[in-house]
Structure 1
Amino acid sequence: MRREFHKSVCSPSVRGPASRKQVVARANWGAPVEFTSAKVLRNREVTPQAHQVFVDVGSLATGYTKPGQFIQAKVDPEGKPGFFAIASPPDVNNQGVLELLVKRQPGSAADAICDLQEGSELKVSPVMGKGFPVDQIPAASFPTVLMFATGSGISPIKAVIESGVLEVSKRKDVRLYYGTKSEDATPYLELIPAWNALGVKVNLVHSGDSKNYVQDAFSKDPKKLEDPASVGVLLVGQKDMCQAVTGMLKEQGVQQIMLNF
């Protein structure tokens, strides 16, 4: 099964739509999924190929409790949904708004969502997935956390950073290796100074024509891992990158490598 993952930011204080139509469909793995009407509150292009979309999902947002969870969404009720990681952190005030980072893919649900105007409706599933089990890497035992993301895979990592669940100030070394094609193709570029200020050392990696990838940046990083047993890892992005990084980390003795699904 191929999953589409995409991203988002903060929740404005807006109430959910008054009425929500429901459609029952089946996910690709066969389990029934109930789709509910939701409303686009804001949609803006953040790179030539990606949109930041705020969606009012109403009470469905209460199911979002851990960064790394996702929803399915589509415009055509009979069409195939896309899978979108939630980019905004869980909202303790339950305002009902989720932020998605949606990467254009011609002919897909993602492309149709990118074209929606403010006030348009789409169909969304309940919040799904286990998210990142960050509670398994407490700051006292895991002073080093490495995060890896490519493209729209930055969505759940953004949610992790902004949620505060990592307790960055209590750790010695928190790094993010974030790969995109170029600076112009980098969603959330404007947020990186704030992430650095929180204590997350962001390593931007632009592949472009140089063919320099996230795994290459990590392998060349002069800052080595002193105690692999005390390193926690959050990993999301392209399959090749995930496999390469996982291989390098396991060779060094790192065991706590976490995916968000």
Structure 2
Amino acid sequence: MLLRSPAARRLHLLRPHHHLLSSGAAAALAPPPFSPTEWTEAPVSRVRAATPDASLFHVSLDLSAHGSLLASHVAAGQFLPFRLPSAPYPIFLAISSPPPPASGSFDFLVKRLPGTPSARLCDLRPGDLVSVGGSVVGRGFEVGRIADARDVLVFATGSGISPIRSLIESGFGKNKEIDVSLFYGVRNLQRMAYQERFSDWESRGIKIIPVLSRPDDQWTGERGYVQNAFSRMKKVVDPSSMGAILCGHKQMSAEITRALVADGMTKDKILTNF
């Protein structure tokens, strides 16, 4: 489903710092609570705009020479630390490609916010080298906690869709006995990544509900914020058979969590990747 509306450079290395930064593309409310002790270099293999307005970029790293790093990606929602120029501490980006990494590379969805370290990644070219952690970090989405769920609600805003792509394309939702609904909120279609993947995701059993906070006059779908759309569409179900996965803006996550708990869902059934 596609939604519509009328010469190799080397990045200088910085000494790691014990404080951490979660960039917009890290797609989490807080970074993992630790810093890697080993670093390595990897070349960029692809950089291209991920949205029509170029507010998000696809960035891929060639890790074919780093077998142990590739092997450390075992769960959707995990992060890779980056050490970038002008950043006094590492940034953590959620891996958007699914585990296991059969292609020998990691994909990322990077928010190009001018003046931020992560924006530097969007200006690189294939062959440029970046410094990354020697292994993936974070536990990812602990989907075993909702293994018995029959209805799963997934909520993502902005670049928070990055690890959700990893989750979906790693096979989550392929069990036809599970109903999976994805509420995906952005400002408008110009800022919505992965539209070209929606048909594939739907074929995997994912019901996609796009939510636009500032759509144009041609938009006939859900308007406002994800939490408001969920409240309008909410149906009465048995909370004991439900699970939820959240990734995106702090306010969205907090409001959705409160609503789900008020309906009887236990917090251990509400997953995040941090």
User: In which range does the TM-score fall when normalised by the shorter chain?
Assistant: 0.7 to 0.9
The reply on whether 1:146 has 2:163 as its aligned counterpart is: no
Q: CA deviation at 1:55?
A: 0.6
Unaligned runs of 5+ in 1: 9-26
Secondary structure at 1:51 match in 2: strand
Q: Is the 8 A contact 2:70 2:101 kept in 1?
A: no
* Corresponding residue of 1:64: 73
Q: Is the 8 A contact 1:74 1:110 kept in 2?
A: no
Deviations 1:55-107 (A, max 9, x none): 123221110000010111133297433211110001264x4310000001222
The reply on whether 1:257 has 2:262 as its aligned counterpart is: no
How many residues in Structure 1 have an aligned counterpart in Structure 2? 238
Q: Is the 8 A contact 1:87 1:159 kept in 2?
A: yes
Secondary structure at 1:161 match in 2: helix
Q: CA deviation at 1:32?
A: 4.9
* Corresponding residue of 1:14: none
Partner of residue 164 from structure 1, selected from 148, 171, 188: 171
Partner of residue 224 from structure 2, selected from 212, 215, 219: 212
Partner of residue 38 from structure 1, selected from 39, 42, 60: 42
The reply on whether 1:129 has 2:141 as its aligned counterpart is: no
Q: Is the 8 A contact 1:89 1:159 kept in 2?
A: yes
Q: Is the 8 A contact 1:7 1:99 kept in 2?
A: no
Unaligned runs of 5+ in 2: 1-19, 217-222
User: Cα–Cα, structure 1 residues 189 and 73, in superposed 2: closer, same or farther, change >3 Å?
Assistant: same
Residue type at the aligned position of 1:154? I
Q: CA deviation at 1:151?
A: 0.6
User: Cα–Cα, structure 1 residues 2 and 251, in superposed 2: closer, same or farther, change >3 Å?
Assistant: farther
> Runs of 4+ in structure 1 displaced over 6 angstroms?
none
Q: Is the 8 A contact 2:189 2:212 kept in 1?
A: yes
Q: CA deviation at 1:34?
A: 2.2
The reply on whether 1:80 has 2:89 as its aligned counterpart is: yes
Partner of residue 4 from structure 1, selected from 12, 23, 28: 23
| Identity rate, percent | 37
Secondary structure at 1:117 match in 2: coil
CA distance in 2, matches of 1:65, 1:29: 19
CA distance in 2, matches of 1:2, 1:78: 9
Q: CA deviation at 1:137?
A: 1.5
State TM-score, norm by structure 2: 0.80
Larger RCO, structure (CA 8 Å, separation 6 or more): 2
The worse-fitting range, judged by mean Cα deviation, of 103-112 and 227-236 is 103-112
Q: Higher strand proportion, which one?
A: 1
* Corresponding residue of 1:113: 121
CA distance in 2, matches of 1:115, 1:31: 25
CA distance in 2, matches of 1:116, 1:168: 39
CA distance in 2, matches of 1:194, 1:163: 13
CA distance in 2, matches of 1:110, 1:80: 12
Q: Is the 8 A contact 2:21 2:91 kept in 1?
A: no
Residue type at the aligned position of 2:83? K
CA distance in 1, matches of 2:34, 2:80: 16
Residue type at the aligned position of 1:196? E
User: Cα–Cα, structure 1 residues 189 and 31, in superposed 2: closer, same or farther, change >3 Å?
Assistant: closer
Q: Is the 8 A contact 1:5 1:85 kept in 2?
A: no
CA distance in 2, matches of 1:182, 1:144: 28
State TM-score, norm by structure 1: 0.84
